[in-house]
């Protein structure tokens, strides 16, 4: 996939088992293939973090970039706001899940997010690479 193409991109911790499982859930929810993905540790993720002055070595947050073609100056969302934006991008059941999560104030959601981020490696462990359920999903990741 063209890494400069417009559209939303979700930057995530590529070494986290929980994060990888969430990405695979989003792949299933996003039947139209609107959302693309890149690990925070990869070249695209690192470039984005540095360009925005965000910590390039803290992978406790995911980043939803509204339009990758405008990543230098466009909108982005962190933590649970990023999760909600990603779910809404997927549509369908993703919209419904976002509506349920949006009931709680962002400060409460983010406090829970930080707790899970702190414990995720202890509970879920590191990611052990596995093949994607559908071969065509590989094209949704920025190389």
Give 42-57 pLDDT, tens digit per residue.
999 999 999 988 888 8
Distance CA(36)–CA(65), nearest Å, equals 10
User: Quick one: pLDDT at residue 133?
Assistant: 87
Domains in the chain: how many in total? 1
From residue 39, alpha-carbon distances to 22, 24, 62, 106 in Å are 13, 13, 9, 24
Give me the percent of the chain exceeding a pLDDT of 70. 97
Nearest to 124 by CA among 44, 46, 24: 24
User: Quick one: pLDDT at residue 2?
Assistant: 67
- Residue 63 inside a domain? The answer is yes
The string of pLDDT tens digits covering residues 69-104 is 888 777 999 999 999 999 999 999 999 999 999 999
Give the dihedral sign, CA 23/25/28/34. negative
What SS3 class is residue 10?
Answer: strand
- Residue 124 inside a domain? The answer is yes
Structure-model confidence comparison of residues 68 and 143, the more confident one? 68
- Residue 4 inside a domain? The answer is no
pLDDT grade, residue 61 (50/70/90)? confident
- Residue 40 inside a domain? The answer is yes
- Residue 141 inside a domain? The answer is no
- Residue 140 inside a domain? The answer is no
Nearest to 94 by CA among 39, 33, 143: 33
- Write down the pTM of the prediction: 0.90
Annotate 17-80 with DSSP letters as a single string: HHHHHHHHHHHHH-TT---EEEETTSHHHHHHHHHTT--SS--SS-EEES-GGGTTTS-EEEHH
Classify strands 36-39 and 63-65 as parallel, antiparallel or unpaired. unpaired
The string of pLDDT tens digits covering residues 12-29 is 999 899 999 999 999 999
Enclosing domain of residue 79? 9-128
């Amino acid at each position: 996939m063209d890494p400069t193409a417009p559209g939303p991109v979700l930057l995530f911790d590529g070494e986290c088992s929980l994060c990888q499982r969430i990405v695979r859930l989003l792949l299933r929810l996003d039947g139209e293939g609107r959302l693309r993905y890149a690990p925070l540790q990869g070249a695209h993720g690192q470039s984005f973090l540095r360009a925005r002055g965000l910590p390039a070595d803290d992978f406790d947050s995911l980043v939803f970039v509204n339009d990758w073609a405008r990543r230098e100056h466009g909108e982005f969302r962190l933590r649970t706001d990023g999760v909600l934006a990603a779910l809404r991008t997927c549509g369908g059941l993703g919209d419904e899940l976002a509506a349920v999560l949006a009931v709680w104030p962002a400060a409460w959601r983010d406090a829970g997010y930080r707790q899970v981020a702190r414990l995720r490696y202890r509970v879920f462990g590191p990611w052990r690479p596995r093949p994607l359920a559908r071969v065509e999903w590989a094209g949704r990741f920025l190389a």
